[in-house]
Structure 1
Amino acid sequence: MTNEQELKRELQAIQKNHYDVPEDVDAYPYAQWMLDFIGSTDAELRDELIYSTLAKWIKNGVFRDKELRGLLLQTLSEDYLFYGIGEKETDSVFKRAFSVLIPPLILSIHEKKPFLSQEQLYSVAEQVLEYIYLEKDVRGYVEGKGWAHATAHAADALHALARSLPEQWFALELLKAAHHMIAKQDYVYTDLEDERLASAIFAVYEQQVLSAEEWRNWLYTLVDFKAYRPQNGVVLQNMKTFVRTLYFRAEKEKMHVFKQEILGVLWEIEGK
């Protein structure tokens, strides 16, 4: 039996036992072992077992603060978040895309009971932003191997950071990164990436660290998709979908002024 098969069997047993940590298991080294296989092409192991178990254990307070910091450093390292960075259509994307899902889990604990320093938060933000600009493989569902979903997962990390780091400089950087992700010229997003990005945008809006002018300026950068390649319908489609999502989210949240600003951008994108 391989290590991967052994881990899968053990995690299935843990899942059946309501994710309780087995009596003979030291959770932190066991979590590190799980992370060794977070890039597995076995969707059940990667997503339903490893990620789900880590999520439950983090949420349930299984790890001490220093262990959470250790897991954070591990997942943001060259061997995880930046593993095979720049590759497209390869299996390395699974390790990157699922590594970027771990920081939001840890940040959710920090948000309730702070244990990360400002410098550590800055470091997380800088590495997540760097990853976003370097990631080239933005596939959603990969046949036979399950979800990669790097854009949606990165958006979740931005969402968590927006809540933990309510500062103007980061808010502006997050908006730039969102624009970068949505303005892809070679991939039409079809797996609700726009919804996950919109959640990150509204998390920033709720912090009230940006002026109305800064929001207006950013919204109108979304019209500049023509600067990429006017004939590129992919960018146009991604932008339309994203701005429409922003509009309906603003309407749902009864943000009437913001909604009108978004509507103006949508009219320009659609040529009205």
Structure 2
Amino acid sequence: MGEYLLKEVQTVVTQLIDVRMALRQGTIYQSVPEKILTIMDNVAYKSRRTHVIVPDDESQIMTLLETINQRLNQDDKKATVTDLELDQLLQHIVSPNTKIRDKGIFNLFNRLLRKYVLTAEQVVWVKDRLISDDYLFAHILEPENDGIFLRSFSVMFLAGILYANRTHYHVLTEAELVAIELRVMAYAIIELDSRGYVADKGWAHALTHIINVWSELNETQELQRADKLLMMAVLIQAYRFSDNALAYGEDSHLANVLMVLLKKNQLYTDYFLAVLQDWQKSLLNIVPEDSIAFWNRWYNRNRFLQSLMLQPELPTEIDDYLRKISDLF
């Protein structure tokens, strides 16, 4: 991990901490999306790819997957997994082989969490590994490459950890939850690779995985409303400025998670309406561009707003506003 990347990540995290503090103190409110965009615009990316190192022991990891699954089949109540085995599993989520990453490690990891096989100490250890720079931000400043699988699945595994912690383990402190929130928001701001399904390699789906983490953090009692508002603003901006076509369910997933949050307090509805109005205002003087990125963003917005309008319990204020501007999407 180079010093350049460490500096960029730390800069984004520091800026997010400042925005979070100002929002909690009430010194900023409607300007948060603009401040998030400023942070996004100031990230300095590289023009060259570097080699993504993938473990070359596919047969060994497949054997390990089979061994642990058989162990669970025999007696999942007494089954254990060693720290070394966990380390081997995590090392292979970078694999572009969907049989190893998606259908192998991801499915097994979910099974371990559902069966509460991991110890409390292992839950914390895995969490620390997943939010580390070497995992969450691996190759993130470079053009599209296979590093997306390590980054995106680190986020997806974090969502599983958060769910297991909320429903069973209860070991993560408020400070740890805030750290996860800040790191994942920084990831959402920096990540440019929002591909959905990658040919011959399976799901990347970074934005979907970020939304999963946000959904879990929204259910925590430890985080304040300001934290959830801030992450809402970050997620909307990440969606809004994606250059990729978000055509793999991201629009409906974002709308569904938003609906759950909006039901919790009127504050969230009011804030989301302000975010929508800011988004709409930005379109008034927009000039269409002859680029894929422009039209991807345009139709990403259309799909998202249409998904919102399909929500049966959409707050009246949001529904009225969307109908008012419906001729523009």
The TM tier, using the shorter chain, reads 0.7 to 0.9
For residue 186 of structure 1, report the CA deviation from its aligned partner.
2.4
| 2:257 counterpart letter in structure 1 | A
> Do the aligned residues in 1 keep the contact of 2:269 with 2:315 (CA within 8 Å)?
no
For residues 19-58 of structure 1, what are the structure 2 equivalents within 5 Å?
A: 26-58=81-113
2:171 aligned residue: 115
Q: CA deviation at 1:3?
A: 2.8
CA contact (8 A) 1:87 1:137 kept: no
Q: CA deviation at 1:12?
A: 3.4
**1:262 Cα deviation from its structure 2 partner:** 5.2
TM superposition score normalised by structure 2? 0.73
Aligned to 2:25: none
Question: How far apart, in 2, do the equivalents of 1:111 and 1:221 lie?
Answer: 34
**How many Å apart are 1:260 and its aligned residue?**
1.9
Q: Report the CA distance between 1:134 and its aligned residue.
A: 0.5
- Render the CA deviation track for 1:120-177: whole Å, top value 9, x for unaligned: 1110000000000000111111111111111111111111111125522122212212
Name stretches of at least 5 consecutive residues in structure 2 with no aligned partner: 1-54, 289-293
Tell me the residue number matched to 1:134.
Answer: 190
Contact 1:104 1:157 in 2 (8 A): yes
State the identity %.
21
Q: CA deviation at 1:9?
A: 2.5
Q: 1:224 to 1:81 in 2, by over 3 A?
A: farther
Of 184-193 and 22-31, more deviation after overlay is shown by 22-31
**Cα offset, 1:221, TM superposition:** 2.6
SS at match of 2:267: coil
Residues 78, 62 of structure 1: CA spacing in aligned structure 2 closer, same or farther, 3 A cutoff? same
The whole-number CA distance in structure 1 between the counterparts of 2:268 and 2:139 is 38
- Structure 1: segments with no counterpart, 5+ residues: none
Equivalent in the alignment of 1:263 = 322
Q: What RMSD over aligned residues (CA atoms) do the two structures have, in Å?
A: 2.6
Structure number with higher relative contact order (C-alpha < 8 Å, ≥ 6 residues apart) = 2
Alignment of 1:10-159 (within 5 A): 10-15=64-69, 26-113=81-168, 114-159=170-215
Select 2:300's aligned residue among 219, 228, 238: 238
Does structure 1 retain, via aligned residues, the 8 Å contact 2:94–2:147? yes
Offset at residue 196 of structure 1 (A):
2.2
CA contact (8 A) 2:93 2:153 kept: yes
Give the secondary structure class of the aligned counterpart of 1:79: helix
* Aligned mates of 1:154, 1:265 — CA distance in 2: 30
Q: Partner residue of 1:176?
A: 233
When residues 197 and 19 of structure 1 are mapped into structure 2, their CA distance, relative to the original with a 3 A threshold, is farther
SS in structure 2 at match of 1:87:
coil
Which amino acid is 2:179 matched to?
S
